[in-house]
Amino acid sequence: MLEGLTPRKVVEFAITTEEIGARFYNRMARKFADETEVAQIFAQLARDEEAHQRQFTQLLDEVPPTFDDKAEYERVQYLRAMAISEFFSGTGPFHDANLVEDIAQALKHALDFEKAALGYYRALREEIGENAGLDGIIAAEKSHVARLMRVITTGAKFRSLEDNWA
């Protein structure tokens, strides 16, 4: 998907990433349906990822069709490297997601996914420049990382992105 890299393809990859995340989170919500609070965490993450899909879809209309002629080879390769290393490495967030058996594993996969997405979206931000929609997605992903870490380390509840509490 990253051959002939263009800004549109980079954003399309982000949309696909969010789709994969939403599917994983929905699957975990079903898997742990008997653990109400955990199922709610995953269901909320799925809804948030679906919202990010819509935001990235809107972003498609805003990005240029090609990179600036002055874009250096290394910059374009950086985006490719971030996508490959974050999502497709042997230790990426979904390398053994089908083997998730318990809540701790599921939460770790969720945290790994959110960190990978955040890294990729920050790299994307560096290349396409200022964009309120992308900045909002990055802020949401940062919030997911912080809240998942809080759930993992303290057992706290995860609440939606619409929640404004600190």
Interhelix angle 132-154/36-60, nearest 10 degrees = 160
- Show the tokens assigned to 118: 């955040």
Quote the CA–CA distance of 28 and 127 in Å, as a whole number: 33
CB 46 within 8 A of CB 19: no
d(CA 86, CA 22): 17
Of 110 and 2, the structure prediction assigns the larger pLDDT to 110
What whole-number percentage of the chain has pLDDT above 90?
36
Give residue 87's pLDDT.
61
Task: Give the predicted TM-score (pTM) of the model.
Answer: 0.81
User: Which of the pair, 114 or 6, is modelled with greater confidence?
Assistant: 114
Query: Is 60 exceeded by the pLDDT of residue 13?
Result: yes
Across residues 38-57, what is the average pLDDT?
Answer: 94
Identify the structural domains of the chain with CATH numbers, from first to last.
7-154 (1.20.1260.10)
Q: Is the pLDDT of residue 71 over 60?
A: no
Cβ neighbours around 129 below 10 Å, total: 10
Neighbours of 121 (CB within 10 A): 22
- The answer on pLDDT for 54 being more than 90 is yes
The mean-pLDDT minimum among 3-12, 38-47, 151-160 falls in 151-160
Q: Which of 60-69, 77-86, 96-105, 106-115 has the highest mean pLDDT?
A: 106-115
Q: Give, as one character, the DSSP assignment of residue 98.
A: G
Query: What is the spatial distance between Cα 115 and Cα 44, in angstroms, rounded to a whole number?
Result: 17
- Rounded CA-CA distance 140/117 in Å is 11
Amino acid at 137: I
